[in-house]
Amino acid sequence: MFLTQFTGGPPLYSEEFGPPAMRNRHLPHEITPLRAESWLRCMKEAFEEIGLDQQPAGKEFYERLTRVASIMVNTDDTTP
């Protein structure tokens, strides 16, 4: 639901759970720079698997996800 809303679709997430405020929702979880990079790597592999990385919209979507990943980092701990 979040990704539907995030990519310009109907506000399904907000209707169900309220405003996304994803950083706040993720604060209980330690998100290190390494973990953010790992999540992005998984997303990139998924994009490549379905060919989304070759589409202009897919490239823009991935760029937005890189910004989200950096915002989600909430600790400088370098352990995985």
Residue 59 lies in a domain: yes
Name the token pair of 7.
């990519």
Residue 9 lies in a domain: no
Total-model pTM: 0.82
| pLDDT digit string (tens) for the chain, length 80 residues | 999 999 999 999 999 999 999 999 999 999 999 999 999 999 999 999 999 999 999 999 999 999 999 999 999 876 55
Q: What is the pLDDT of residue 77?
A: 72
Residue 14 lies in a domain: no
Q: Do the beta carbons of residue 62 and residue 43 sit within 8 Å?
A: yes
CATH of the domain at 79: 1.10.490.10
Q: What is the pLDDT of residue 79?
A: 58
Q: What is the pLDDT of residue 34?
A: 95
- Residue 67: domain span: 22-80
Strands (DSSP E) along 9-68, which ranges? none
Q: Please tell me the total count of domains within the chain.
A: 1
Residue 80 lies in a domain: yes
Which residue shows structure tokens 């890189």?
66
Residue 38 lies in a domain: yes
Residue 8 lies in a domain: no
User: Exposed (0-12), middle (13-18) or buried (19+): which is 3, by Cβ within 10 Å?
Assistant: exposed
Q: What is the pLDDT of residue 76?
A: 83
Residue 26 lies in a domain: yes
Q: What is the pLDDT of residue 63?
A: 95
- Count other C-beta atoms under 10 Å from residue 20's C-beta: 15
Residue 2 lies in a domain: no
- In whole angstroms, give the CA distance from residue 10 to residue 29: 27
